[in-house]
Amino acid sequence: MSESAYKKIVVKVGSNVIAGANGLPDEAVMGHLISQIAHAKSQGVEVILVSSGAVASGRSLMPVSDKTDPIARRQLLASIGQVKLLNIYTQLLQPHNLICAQILVTKEDFRDRMHYLNMKRCFGTLLQNNIIPIINENDVISVTELMFTDNDELAGLVASMLGADALIILTNVDGIYDRSPKEPGASLIPVIDSTRTDFSRFVSAEKSNFGRGGMITKCSIAHKLAMVGIKVHIANGKTPDILTSILRKEPVGTVFATQENKSKLKRWVANSEGYAKGLVYINAGAKTSLLQPDKAVSLLPIGITRLEGDFKKGDIIKIVTENDELVGLGMAQYGAEVAKTYLGEKNKKPLVHYDYLFLV
C-alpha cells in the first residue's frame, strides 16, 4: 500500500529553485528533486512535472548581449535552453529507470474544448506508460498576449485538466507568511481556508529574481484550485526531501484547504477566465439566487440586465454584477444574439445551466 497522501500530483518547480546564485541550472538541486519524484513513482504516485528553467539553461550555453531585443533574447535562450533542460532531466532519470516526455504549450492550447480534450488524452497515454510528462511554456512562441502569467498558471491549468489530487508549487521560500518574510516576527501560515481571498493584505507583490511570477499569483491560483477540490502546497524546493515530506503528510509549507471536488467540466470552466468571450451583467436578485449555499441554481434570463460581447453557444462567459464584481464563469447554452431577445423574461431556457457554471 502506498505511503503517499496522493495518487496523482502536479509538481511545479520554479526558476529560483532550479537556478543557482549565478542564474545557471543547479544540477545538484535538480538531481535531488528527481530522486524524490522517483521515490514517489515507486510508491505508485503519478507525477507530472511543470518545470521552468529553459532561459536559465540557455544562459549557460552562450552569452547574449543586453542590447538584444528582450523578446528576441528570450526566444533565443529558450530555444537552445529547452534542449539542455530536457537533456539534464533525461540523464537524471536514467539511473531510476524512468523516462520523460517534453510537452511545450501556449495559452492558446487551453482555449478550445476539443483541443483541451486531445491534450488531456495525450497526458493520459504518457502516464499509462509510466512516462513522466515534463511541461513548460513554449517561450519561443509565447510572447505578449499568448503568455501565461507564469508557469504557476500553467501548472494550475494542468492540475485541473488531469484531476490531480494536489498541485505542489516548489519555490525559494518556505510558504505563505502573514507579512513579508523579510520582516521581523513574520510567521508561516500552515493552512489557508479556501474561502480566503484577501491575499494582497499580507502577501508581498515582489517577484522572483529569475521568474515572472510572485506569491500573489500563486495564492490566486491556489485559491481557484482549492475551490474545485484540488489541494495546493507551496513550499521551499531547496529544503531537503520537501516533496517526500509533503507526500507523507508532514506539516511543511502552506497548504490551501479544499472544498468539495467539482466535475471535470466545472474544473475546465473554473480555469477559463482568460478565455471568456463575453460579459453577462446580473441584478442583485440573480446574484442572491446563484450564491445560495447547497443549492443547484442555473443562470436564467430574468436576472440578466445586459450583455457584452458576441459570444456563441459553448463559449465561456463571465457573470458579473452591475458593479463589475465577478460572480462566476459559465459555458453559454446559446449565443448572444438569442440571449439579448430573452433579457429579463421568465420561463426561458437558462443561459448557463448549473452543470456548466462555476461560482467564485
Known binding residues are 12, 52, 139, 151
Amino acid, res. 162: L
Which residues on adjacent β-strands are paired with residue 214? Answer: 207
Inter-residue contact 42 to 126 (CB < 8 Å): no
What single string gives the DSSP state of each residue in 210-265?
SSS-BHHHHHHHHHHHHHTT-EEEEEETTSTTHHHHHHTT---SEEE---PPPPHH
Residues tagged in the binding site annotation for ATP: 12
Query: What does the block give as the cell for 207?
Result: 517577484
Residue ranges of alpha helices (H) inside 70-112 are 70-93
Helix (H) or strand (E) holding 114: helix 113-128
Tell me phi and psi for residue 154, to 5 degrees.
-60, -45
- Residues annotated within the binding site for substrate are 52, 139, 151
Separation CA 300–CA 351 (nearest Å): 6
Q: What is the rounded CA–CA span in Å between residue 297 and residue 304? A: 14
177, 115 Cβ separation under 8 angstroms: no
C-alpha to C-alpha distances, 234 to 1, 30, 171, 228, nearest whole angstrom: 26, 18, 7, 17
User: If we measure between CA atoms, which residue out of 266, 256, 268 comes closest to residue 221?
Assistant: 256
> Torsion angle of alpha carbons 143, 269, 4, 40, nearest 10°?
-30
